[in-house]
């Protein structure tokens, strides 16, 4: 399988679909919004975007299956499965706030081999594939070279449906606020991971994320030289409940903070 060619096809699909997302920005009405849970929303645009993406991805690899947030398709492939978030940052999108993005990863057997994240407002496409470089709009990048937390700018996502670990989270938040250059919260985990990959951020942490939130970012971060793990440094980060990404140089120091609270 030629990962480079497939990645280029996915980039083209995300950019074409991103035009639809961009055209709908600021046009969401209450009648288009469905509540999945407390502070967890889906719009008609999410569903339409997912349909466009999955139809296109099925043409790229006809035998592929899907793990997708809005559940447009339920078919699973025997070897290849796309992990798709058609609109990461739905709450931002509803309120006319950026960023929001399309996030697509390809899993071959149990290995993530391609990741693409596209922000249609900034027209920024982050991509990577197994054994290839990480790129932003075609230009190669790596993670940052900052090697201590006191130099780092870090990002997070606030709990919004699961508050079971909120006290531990707030403890880590306070310590990291005090020992870094600052904390940012954009409202799109996929964009946060793309920013760690390209060196805008040095680390990210959040709990209760789903595979479609992080799969593409995992590929891009790893190929850019970064590191991902769960809060305890383990490998249960794709389907687990806790997620950490760093430039690799501060990973151990970052985990040492989290282990005090979780």
Q: For 247-259, how does the pLDDT look when each residue is reduced to its tens digit (9 = 90+)? A: 999 999 999 999 9
Tokens of 157: 């996502």
Is it true that domain 149-258 has CATH number 3.40.50.620?
no
Q: Check residue 73 and give its pLDDT.
A: 55
- Give start-end residues of each CATH 3.30.540.10 domain in the chain: 3-141
Q: Check residue 69 and give its pLDDT.
A: 74
Extended strands (E) in 93-241: 101-108, 111-119, 124-129, 134-136, 139-141, 153-156, 182-184, 203-207, 227-229
User: Which residues of the chain have a pLDDT value below 50?
Assistant: none
End-to-end CA distance of the chain: 41
- Give start-end residues of each CATH 3.40.190.80 domain in the chain: 149-258
Q: Check residue 26 and give its pLDDT.
A: 75
> CB of 103 within 8 A of CB of 84?
yes
d(CA 76, CA 25): 32
CA angle 100, 228, 179 (to 5 degrees): 85
State the CATH architecture for 3-141.
2-Layer Sandwich (3.30)
């Amino acid at each position: 399988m030629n990962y480079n060619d497939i990645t280029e096809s996915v980039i083209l699909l995300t950019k074409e679909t991103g035009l639809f997302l961009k055209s709908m920005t600021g046009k969401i009405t209450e009648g288009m919004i469905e509540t999945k849970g407390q502070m967890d929303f889906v719009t008609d645009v999410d569903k339409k975007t997912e349909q466009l993406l999955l139809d296109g991805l099925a043409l790229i690899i006809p035998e592929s299956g899907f793990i997708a947030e809005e559940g447009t398709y339920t078919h699973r492939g025997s070897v290849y499965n796309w992990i798709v978030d058609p609109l990461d940052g739905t709450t931002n999108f509803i309120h006319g706030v950026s960023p929001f993005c399309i996030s697509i990863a390809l899993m071959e057997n149990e290995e993530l081999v391609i990741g693409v994240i596209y922000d249609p407002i900034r027209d920024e496409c982050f991509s990577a594939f197994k054994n290839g470089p990480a790129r932003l709009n075609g230009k190669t990048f790596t993670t940052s070279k900052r090697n201590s937390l006191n130099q780092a700018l870090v990002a997070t996502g606030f709990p919004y449906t699961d508050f079971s670990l909120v006290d531990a989270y707030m403890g880590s938040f306070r310590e990291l606020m005090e020992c870094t250059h600052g904390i940012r919260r954009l409202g799109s985990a996929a964009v946060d991971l793309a920013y760690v990959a390209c060196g805008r951020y040095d680390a990210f942490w959040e709990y209760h994320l789903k595979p479609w939130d992080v799969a593409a970012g995992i590929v891009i971060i790893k190929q850019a030289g970064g590191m991902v793990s769960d809060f305890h440094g383990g490998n249960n980060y794709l389907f687990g409940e806790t997620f950490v990404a760093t430039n690799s140089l501060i990973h151990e120091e970052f985990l040492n903070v989290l282990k005090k609270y979780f």
